[in-house]
Amino acid sequence: MPENQDPKTPNVQAPRFAILVAGGSGTRMGAAKPKQFLDLLGEPVLLHTLRRFAETPLRVQQCVVVLPAEQFSTWHQLCAEHHVRIPHTVIAGGPTRWASVRNGLAYLADQTSGTVAVHDGVRPLVPASVIEECFATAEAHGTAVAAVVPKDSVRNLSQQGSYALDRARLRLVQTPQCFELDLLRRAYQLPELPTFTDDASVVEDLHPIQLVPGDYRNLKITTPEDLLLAEAILRSTT
């Protein structure tokens, strides 16, 4: 958050950017092509995701889509097939999610201020209300990360076996993860650590992480049953 800003007053004038990371190969899905290109009720997973961020009321000024360099032509072909007119910029990812986000940020190097949402390209069902809440919270507090309460009991593995955790004190972290642009830039200048599974873990040493309610429908397409669930959810809401 800019130093001279009242933390309770959202910086509604700040431009909004989105980095949609889709630079992975989808090994756990085990499909013939990366899961971001798989069909979800007639459109590629990634196109659903892009549409969610391009919705006009969200005021996202620029969508940066990060892809494996060798898959650019796959995406361009899919965009042509589906007559996609949504303005977006495609850039090459890196070997890890962290590297892909860093590449996305590098594309925004000329931007002097704003708020950036980092979102998994394979979370196609994120509600617009969650995206809006994340942007608005980050505009007020510098950070905002969508998260939900676990529905299952959770146990921690120990040398003796395992023990129960208090799930009321746990959260399952989703994306979007929104940050004041300069804060995210500073965080991504630090060296990569193996513990960086998301953007909050990259930023948390520099700034407290504000959690906002996520949504159980905002699932990450990871294994084949996720695609079935996503289809059922989408059918029920369209």
Ligand X SMILES: Nc1ccn([C@@H]2O[C@H](COP(=O)(O)OP(=O)(O)OP(=O)(O)O)[C@@H](O)[C@H]2O)c(=O)n1
91 touching ligand LQXTBERG, by CB under 6 A = no
* 36 binds, options ligand X, ligand LQXTBERG, none, Cβ within 5 to 8 A by partner type: ligand X
Task: Give the footprint of ligand LQXTBERG on residues 191-230 (CB under 6 A).
Answer: 197-198, 220, 222
- The nearest distance, CB 24 to ligand X, in angstroms, is 2
- Residues found near ligand X in the complex (CB under 6 A): 21-28, 36, 66, 93-97, 100, 120-122, 220, 222
* 45 binds, options ligand LQXTBERG, ligand X, none, Cβ within 5 to 8 A by partner type: none
Residues whose CB is less than 8 angstroms from the CB of residue 208 and which lie 6 or more positions away in sequence, other chains included: 143
Q: Which CB, 48 or 97, lies closer to ligand LQXTBERG?
A: 97
- The nearest distance, CB 83 to ligand X, in angstroms, is 24
* 79 binds, options ligand LQXTBERG, ligand X, none, Cβ within 5 to 8 A by partner type: none
* 121 binds, options ligand LQXTBERG, ligand X, none, Cβ within 5 to 8 A by partner type: ligand X
* 174 binds, options ligand LQXTBERG, ligand X, none, Cβ within 5 to 8 A by partner type: ligand LQXTBERG
